Chains A and B, each alone.
Chain A
Amino acid sequence: MENKRTDRKANIQILDGNQAAAHGAKLSRVQVIAAYPITPQTPLTETLSEFVERGEMKAEYVAVESEHSALTVCSSASMVGARTFTATSAHGLAYMHEMLHWVAGARLPVVLACVNRAIGAPWNILNDQQDSISQRDTGWIQIYARNNQEILDSVLQAYRIAEAVYVPAMVCYDGYVLSHAEMPVDVPSQDDVDRFLPPYQPHTILDPANPKNYNLVTLANPRANTEGVLCHGYMELRYLLQEALQNSRETITKVGREFGELFGRSYANMLWEDRLGDADIVIVAMGSLAMEAIVAANMLREEGHKVGVLGLRVFRPFPKADMVEALKKSRLIVVFDKNISYGSEGATCSEIKSALYGSGVNAIIRNFIVGLGGRDVKARELADAVNKSLLSLKEDVLSSEYPEWICYI
């Protein structure tokens, strides 16, 4: 990350991922927090309750009795006009699934930290990205962090973006790998953040002097209001959500650029690109895995391959155009997914294939499922998978129908 502003004094603290997220929420001057503890998110919610109880954070902390209620509290508080925050993992995210749909449809800029964890059955508390991937259809902006600095930075940006486009946003980071691992994080000053993030301007009015009723039953077809103006049907309201997500790319990159100018770390791109300039083989990964992929790329470069890494930063809205541009010179794309859409393939792989369809990019795409349930992923394994993929261009060593799994079967 380029540090453009050298006149700013860095404030390096050693933080784990959960603490980084907590600092992000605190600096964002969140007004209502509702979170239910779940491993490995728990220290995040504990840190926030400590901030509030010590008076370091002026927020209403609601000790909800479930994740479904956690997101509901945020939803209604956001309706009133408060800036809200919640966090969860795995089963907790699944439990609030209904509310994820609701909040997106209600166009409320709630920010959620998802500490990526495997989902049962069977029980597993360790990392993979199945939880947030499973929610990709709900209409939320989804951003993945590669390290703890990106966690903090993404939370701050999430509020700017979400409140500008009125679409909720989730910041995802790998459980344990990031949430419990300590790293140096440059923590911005409150003054700088206040300059970056103005107060929330709600689009909802809850005032007896001007009564409105929000999210009533909406018919299939448009219906006129009392003034005769034709109002949306359900489909039009949902169209507007998709439109907002499609158009949010502009806001995301603009906010990312502005962040860079103010804090010295630019997020002006939807993707993280490493050595794509001369690469004809590209590894694609998301979250902390993207850092492992860089190490794998180093190994492969030493072995004589021109390998680049594409770190997928924003998963929703899916950056199709950016993808095509980044991959146009590749002949082999190896996608590592820490998730799988059962019965099909890794979600990232499907999205990339969809993005490249009709683009003229003629690369071979190989998909590997890695790291489920916290299975450790070694750079050497990633490099070996790339080599196997290369071999598969000549010999029939990999199925092209379903992804290969790097595991003990």
Chain B
Amino acid sequence: MKTNAVNLTETEYLLPGNRVCPGCALSLAYRHILKALEGQVIVTVPASCLTVLHGMYPITSVNVPCVNTPFASTGASATGLVAGLKALGKKGLTVLAIAGDGGTHDIGIQALSGAAERHDDFIYVCYDNEGYMNTGNQRSGSTPLGAISGTTPVLGKQQNQKDMTAIMEAHGIPYVATANPSYPLDLYEKVRRAKSIEGTRFIHVFTPCPPGWGFPFSDTIRIGRLAVETGWVVLYEVENGVFRLTSASESIARRDNLKPIREYLMEQGRFRSITEEQINELQDWVDARWKRYLIRTTSS
């Protein structure tokens, strides 16, 4: 039976009264990821917003075992946990690496790439708030073209983001997917799917950030949905090379009703200085990518 809000487990692994901002999409995503894994995990986390969510010694806001690791090392830390468990003959636990876009696209890319190339057996979740948000929004490899950040404060970022999911897919790993806590059941199902597969599994979760992106914290879910409705985020999974659109992206493809990217950009303070030229560039980029996904859908 398909999971819905009614039959989804009530067990919570995320404890209330934690340090994240009101309306934090990471918090919502993490809540459901842990439910999907039934808490039978060892989590490894680099320096990131999640570190803050987890709290400060000697108290933590999460009810699962966790290993903190330096910024560049998440992929290797996950590999180490897997190797240790295997060496000791301990079975039944999923190793969950969960890092931000900083720890995935930028400083952490080497360790992740190495682990994926070795087919190390863990789930890696990148929660992407498109910037180094933990430290007050500095630009990352995932920050979009035209976005104002702490390190692109006047001119906005001059380059568009890198496509991390495609990079991970190029490693030939058995499962990559994109997800979004605005569609929590799709996220949940993808984590369940990943859990059942052996090898390196990568899930790229889009997590809008109210203070970093400049929108009211009550709008997190709405902004997340708008991102999908305009094609900025496309919900898909690739399992053993077979591509499939999911959830709202699948519906949008069927109905051919992608909204203009402008509608998404204009809601956010970080795009206050974006130029017309940059908006057009982003629209072209979104359109070209969407077209490639549609081709992959029909040829699957």
Contact = CB atoms under 8 A, between A and B. Distances in A.
Taking the complex as a whole, does A directly touch B, i.e. does some CB pair lie under 8 Å apart? yes
Interface of A: 31-32, 34, 59-60, 62-66, 68-70, 72-82, 84, 98-99, 102, 205-208, 211-219, 223-226, 231-232
18 contacts: A60-B86, A63-B118, A68-B76, A68-B111, A69-B75, A72-B77, A76-B80, A82-B83, A102-B69, A206-B42, A206-B65, A206-B81, A212-B65, A216-B55, A217-B51, A217-B52, A217-B56, A231-B57
B37 to A, nearest CB: 10
A372 B87 CA distance: 40
Contacts of B88: 31, 80-82
B78 A76 contact: yes
B113 interface: yes
Contacts of B110: 65-66, 69
Contacts of A34: 79-80, 83
Given A32-B87, A79-B84, 16 more contacts: A62-B79, A64-B76, A66-B114, A72-B79, A72-B111, A75-B77, A76-B78, A78-B84, A80-B85, A82-B87, A206-B67, A208-B40, A212-B60, A213-B62, A213-B68, A219-B56
Contacts of A75: 69, 77, 80
Contacts of A216: 51, 54-57, 60, 68
Most buried by B among A34, A59, A206, A232: A206
Contact of A77 (B54, B63, B68, B84): B84
B57 A223 contact: yes
B28 interface: no
Nearest to B117: A65
A34 B88 CA distance: 16
Given A72-B111, A206-B65, A82 B76 contact: no
B39 interface: yes
Contacts of A65: 110-111, 113-114, 117
Most buried by B among A77, A102, A215: A77
Contacts of B87: 31-32, 59-60, 77, 80, 82
Contacts of B59: 223, 225-226
Contacts of B77: 72-73, 75-76
Contacts of A231: 57-58
Contact of B114 (A69, A99, A208): A69
Contacts, number: 162
A224 B62 CA distance: 18
Contacts of B85: 80
Interface residues of B, number: 46
Majority SS at the chain A contact face: mixed
A102 B57 contact: no
B172 interface: no
A269 to B, nearest CB: 35
A80 B68 contact: no
Most buried by A among B55, B75, B80, B81: B80
B266 interface: no
B41 A208 contact: yes
A102 B84 contact: no
Contacts of B84: 31-32, 60, 76-82, 84
Contacts of B69: 72, 75-76, 102
Contacts of A78: 80, 84
Nearest to B40: A208
Contacts of A232: 57-58
Contacts of A205: 65
A-B residue pairs, 8 tightest by C-beta: A76-B80, A80-B84, A65-B114, A77-B84, A69-B76, A72-B76, A213-B60, A73-B80
B76 A215 contact: no
